């Protein structure tokens, strides 16, 4: 998966898997972008479970470079295989909304993210269907992914060293082009930015600090 949430055939290996429902038909060919509002990020190994990549009528495994890509694509941590990450994400969202953690359920998170991801519904959406929003760069927490409209929509990771361009192999070297007070276009949904700003620490690919 790229940070826009689009699927690609790539040999590079990511840190996480995840799903957004069954994306293939009975002939094992891709027929949809997502099914339902449950978009989660999971461990690649959990309780020795095995799952086919293109099994009809079952969830379709997706793969992400790291948490930053998964969050930008509209996913959140899985509550079953990543319970600590899920709780930290939920608690961060609750803190950002000024609510007790118990008031923010998985269903609440799913509905918020579903409303923030796409401009239109179920189908084979592409990057142009993503909901984007503006924000000053210096107001965004590390782990947020933004878009550089001057570079054909290049996805960039916000880090303490500056912004780093996305590739499927990892994050590139920091780019010095943006000033801290520049307004950028944000790809990561607002709910996930709330989590990042209020204590959720994403697992990033080692290239993010190289």
Report the percentage of the chain scoring pLDDT > 90: 72
Residue-level pLDDT at 151: 66
Closest by alpha carbon to 42, among 10, 74, 67, 11?
A: 67
Q: What is the mean pLDDT of residues 179-183?
A: 73
Residue-level pLDDT at 162: 87
CA distances from residue 40 to 79, 83, 86, 163, 203 in whole angstroms, order as listed: 9, 12, 10, 25, 14
> What's the first-to-final CA gap in the chain, in angstroms?
22
Residue-level pLDDT at 50: 81
Using the 8-state DSSP alphabet, how is residue 18 labeled? E
Residue that the structure tokens 């949809």 belong to: 32
pLDDT in tens, 27-71: 999 899 899 999 999 999 988 888 788 889 889 999 999 999 999
Identify whether the C-beta of residue 137 lies closer than 8 Å to the C-beta of residue 181. Answer: yes
Q: What is the mean pLDDT of residues 186-204?
A: 98
For residue 5, the tally of other CB atoms under 10 A from its CB is 25
Q: 165 φ, ψ to 5°?
A: -75, 145
Query: Does residue 25 carry a pLDDT above 90?
Result: yes
Q: How many Å separate Cα 67 from the centre of its chain? A: 6
Write down the pTM of the prediction. Answer: 0.92
pLDDT in tens, 128-180: 688 999 999 889 999 999 997 666 678 999 998 889 999 999 999 998 766 66
Cα-atom radius of gyration of the chain, to the nearest Å? 16
Going through the chain in order, the beta strands assigned E by DSSP cover 16-19, 40-43, 62-64, 76-77, 133-136, 145-148, 154-159, 162-167, 170-171, 183-186
Closest by alpha carbon to 114, among 7, 41, 40?
A: 40
Residue-level pLDDT at 46: 87
What average pLDDT does the chain have?
A: 91
Q: What is the mean pLDDT of residues 186-202?
A: 98
Residue-level pLDDT at 120: 64
Query: Does residue 122 carry a pLDDT above 70?
Result: no
10 Å CB burial of residue 105 (0-12, 13-18, 19+) is exposed
Query: Does residue 11 carry a pLDDT above 50?
Result: yes
Report the percentage of the chain scoring pLDDT > 70: 92
Listing from the earlier edge strand, what are the strands of the sheet with 154-159? 133-136, 183-186, 145-148, 154-159, 162-167, 170-171
Residue-level pLDDT at 119: 81
């Amino acid at each position: 998966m790229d940070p826009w949430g689009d699927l690609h055939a790539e040999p590079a290996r990511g840190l996480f898997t995840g799903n957004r429902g069954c994306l293939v038909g009975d002939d094992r060919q891709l027929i949809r972008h997502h099914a339902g509002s449950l978009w989660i990020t999971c461990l690649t190994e959990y309780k020795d479970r095995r799952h086919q990549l293109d099994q009809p009528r079952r969830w379709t495994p997706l793969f992400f470079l790291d948490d930053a890509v998964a969050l930008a694509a509209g996913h959140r941590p899985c509550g079953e295989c990543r319970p600590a990450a899920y709780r930290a994400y939920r608690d961060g969202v609750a803190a950002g909304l000024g609510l007790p953690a118990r008031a923010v359920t998985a269903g609440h998170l799913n509905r918020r993210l579903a409303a923030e991801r796409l401009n239109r519904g179920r189908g084979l959406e592409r990057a142009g269907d993503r909901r984007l929003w503006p924000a000053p760069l210096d107001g965004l927490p590390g782990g947020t992914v933004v878009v550089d409209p001057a570079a054909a929509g290049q996805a960039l990771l916000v880090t303490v060293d500056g912004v780093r361009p996305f590739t499927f192999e990892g994050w590139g070297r920091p780019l010095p082009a943006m000033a801290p007070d520049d307004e950028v276009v944000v790809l990561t949904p607002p709910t996930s930015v709330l989590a990042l700003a209020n204590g959720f620490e994403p697992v990033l690919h080692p290239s993010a600090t190289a």
